[in-house]
Chain A
Amino acid sequence: MLELDRLSKRYGDVVALDDLSLTVRPGQMYGFVGTNGAGKTTAMRIVLGVLDADAGEVRWQGQRLGPGVRREFGYMPEERGLYPKMRLLEQLVFLARLRGTAEPVATRSARALLDRFGLAERAGDRVEQLSLGNQQRVQLAAALVHDPTVLVLDEPFSGLDPVGVDSMATILRERVDTGAALVFSSHQLDLVERLCDAVGIIRAGRLVADGTVAELRGVTSSRRFRVQVGAAPGWPDQLAAAVRGATVLDHGRDDGPALFELPAGTDDQVLLAAAQRLGAVHQFGTAEPTLVELFREVVSEEPESDDAEAAA
């Protein structure tokens, strides 16, 4: 497995990473989320050896990372990066060979990937002649061409249309299913929630939440309820007042459902009974927070998340 162990990195006075630790297992798709400047890119660059950490280390299968181990890594940087004037096939073969793949193997693999991305006929074109979406596909192909066992992708889905997202997600899932470990960062949290086996939320260079989406829900709150009562406006506040410790998270619109939170130990049947006393209960159920909600909650706990702005 891939372990980031207590990584720290400063740029002058700016703390980019502060004791960051996380683990990604083979066969796992790990979503790395955080606000802009939280340190995601810095962490990824350190994993790839493009940057050196001030402290801490990165291990793969228990072995400290060096160039020899990193050849099994595939990397897609946020800003992208291909030679604009180089032809697709040559470029992919070149990048594969830089990671130690023998030429015939590299050529076969590059052709297969271009084929897979529907770019086989453009193998002899220069990168700059492609549309942006296709350039991004080539970028992913460049990260995959040497058949890596660890994939580190910085914002792989940004700028893709929904169809492009799906096809890229399918290809990545195949790699993960054959045992590759995948870490990717993204601001598209719905996508992360849908695709990822595990999620890490980073704020100001620290990992503030880590686990499956279900686990994260468990940590933050499993005590949320969506309730809809046929009563005069203002009923949510009356309901909250009727149950000790209950709070209204969201008043809802007009006569729509409102969102409540109960403190641990309070029986949800108490809430239901109180609601029934106010009027006809049209809807009552637990409300699982989306990743977006979890993210907002975790990230806004301390309002100093812009510390590491320059670290992006």
Chain B
Amino acid sequence: MSRALSFREAVLLVARREFIQRARDRSFFVSTAITIGIIVLVIVFPKALNFGADEYTVAYVGPDGPAIQAVAEDQAELSDLSLVAVDVADAEQAEQMVLAGDLNAYLDADSVVVERELAPPLRAVLENAHSSVAGTRALTDAGLDPEQVASALDTAELETVTLDPAADERITRGTIAFIGALVLYGQLLGYGFWVALGVVEEKSSRVVEVLLSAIPARALLAGKVLGIGVLGLAQLFAIAAVSVAAAALVGSIAFEASMLQPILLVLGWFVLGYIAYACLSAAAAARVSRQEELQNATTPLTMLAMVSFFASFFVFFNTSGTGPLVVSVIPPVSALAMPIRMARGDAALWDIGLALVLMLGLIAALIVVSGRVYEGAVLRMGAKVPLAEAWRSGRRVRS
């Protein structure tokens, strides 16, 4: 009818409960929705308001108007500037529109008319176009074949030789990883806190006593960390999918398979970072008996996460030198910092290896230490259990 659960079965059962109960929690949906909302806003908003892209409305009056317009628009495209041509009946109407603010400028014969001043990028484009048209006309007037003039001018183009063709992509990947690290910071804090909250909830409701009469403390701890971790990973996947889709949709980034790399890196490091933070959170939380004391008990963890947070800024803005290298190999800071360097391609193989070894070493140590502190403290109700006492009461293995 019933048989003893194996450690693995107990862990999975606890993990399943955590996953289902937390996923059903309203605050989970709210926090997911808010995070996705913020990211979509950050991606879509600038595009909608046309931040960054310079756009000018210009009217072309006079016989050379169409020719100048054609050259100006070609030039504008090269300068990453958008020109909108507006049709006007005559110079008078154009002037009215400039004064009303409907036009940035209009061109009439050899002059450009603006309300107050001509924006430098627009000046460059218009001057170029004007001089090119004027030059062509002068050459034609001098008796040259207009087509010869045009082809002669066309060949006088600079050819670009790119020495680092992937640089753009690397920077984009680094930026994605950086944004990922920022999200990760929130998630690490959030999920670490969930683990802590869950531990205290079980302790303050005393259900822990019933649970521990059935399964070992470590199975309970491992199940909790696993269940909340899987939920966190699922949430991050959802956030990443929505963000990439939104970015691709509005064209902030050209969606390419290579862009998945930084996202996967961030998710991979999230798993490692989460395990470390979750172990620390659980041990800290097991020492207190009431939710009111939790904030206090987890303060050192919050500080640690803040340090990681600033480290990721540091690494994002400093591409070379030993500073970023050191920061990105020290666990658990490496969980936020390393993905950025890896995505950018700054990290040498041995940096990555070292960071991984150190991180895994820390996790192994934390599992031992936190498991024991948790075990030693989780049944002790009342005042906060001193760390040394929790360590002494915890057993290495429950028989």
Contact = CB atoms under 8 A, between A and B. Distances in A.
Interface in B173-232: 201-202, 205-216
Interface residues on A, range: 35 or more
B1 A81 contact: no
Contact of A70 (B201, B205, B213, B381): B213
Contacts of A303: none
A71 B3 contact: yes
B4 A51 contact: no
Q: Is the interface of A mostly helix, strand, loop or mixed?
A: loop
A233 B4 CA distance: 69
B199 to A, nearest CB: 13
B13 A68 contact: no
B1 A101 contact: yes
A88 B151 CA distance: 84
Given A77-B206, A82-B205, A86-B21, A100 B2 contact: yes
Interface in A128-174: 142, 146-147
A79 B209 contact: yes
B1 A142 contact: no
B123 interface: no
Interface string A69-94: 01111010101111111100000001
B238 interface: no
Given A49-B213, A50-B379, A67 B4 contact: yes
Nearest to B211: A98
B207 A67 contact: no
B399 interface: yes
Contacts of B214: 70-71, 95, 98-99
A94 B17 contact: yes
B347 interface: no
A45 B399 CA distance: 15
Given A85-B21, A98-B13, A75 B210 contact: yes
Contacts of B2: 71-72, 99-102, 105, 146-147
A266 B288 CA distance: 62
B10 interface: yes
Contacts of A68: 4
Nearest to A77: B209
Interface string A91-132: 000110111111001000000000000000000000000000
Nearest to B7: A67
A99 B14 CA distance: 12
Contact of A81 (B209, B215, B395): B209
A18 interface: no
B250 interface: no
A48 B213 contact: yes
A294 to B, nearest CB: 31
Contacts of B201: 83-84
A81 B208 contact: yes
Contacts of A84: 201, 205
Interface string B386-399: 00000000010011
Nearest to B213: A48
Interface in B15-63: 17, 21
B1 A79 contact: no
A5 interface: no
A100 B202 CA distance: 21
B5 interface: yes
Contacts of A94: 13, 17
Contacts of B4: 67-68, 71, 100
A48 B207 CA distance: 14
A67 B207 CA distance: 18
Contacts of B17: 94
Contacts of A52: 395
A97 B5 CA distance: 9
A45 B209 CA distance: 9
A66 interface: yes
A50 B212 contact: yes
Q: Counting chain A CB atoms within 10 Å of each CB, which of B205, B213, B395, B398 scores highest? A: B213
A52 B397 CA distance: 12
A81 B206 contact: yes
Nearest to A68: B4
A100 B123 CA distance: 80
A97 to B, nearest CB: 6
A98 B209 contact: no
B207 A75 contact: no
Nearest to B214: A98
Interface in B107-143: none
A79 B4 CA distance: 26
A142 B209 CA distance: 13
A95 B399 contact: no
A230 to B, nearest CB: 58
A310 B135 CA distance: 101
Nearest to B217: A50
Given A75-B210, A75-B213, A100-B2, A51 B379 contact: yes
26 contacts: A48-B213, A49-B213, A49-B398, A68-B4, A71-B2, A71-B3, A71-B4, A71-B5, A75-B210, A77-B206, A77-B209, A79-B209, A79-B381, A81-B205, A81-B206, A83-B21, A84-B201, A94-B17, A98-B211, A99-B2, A99-B214, A100-B5, A101-B2, A102-B1, A105-B2, A142-B210
Interface of B: 1-5, 10, 13-14, 17, 21, 201-202, 205-216, 379, 381, 395, 398-399
Given A75-B210, A95-B210, A98-B215, 7 more contacts: A48-B213, A71-B2, A71-B5, A81-B210, A86-B21, A95-B214, A98-B211
In the A-B complex, the 7 residue pairs with the smallest Cβ-Cβ separation, listed nearest first, are: A81-B206, A81-B207, A48-B213, A79-B206, A100-B2, A68-B4, A98-B214
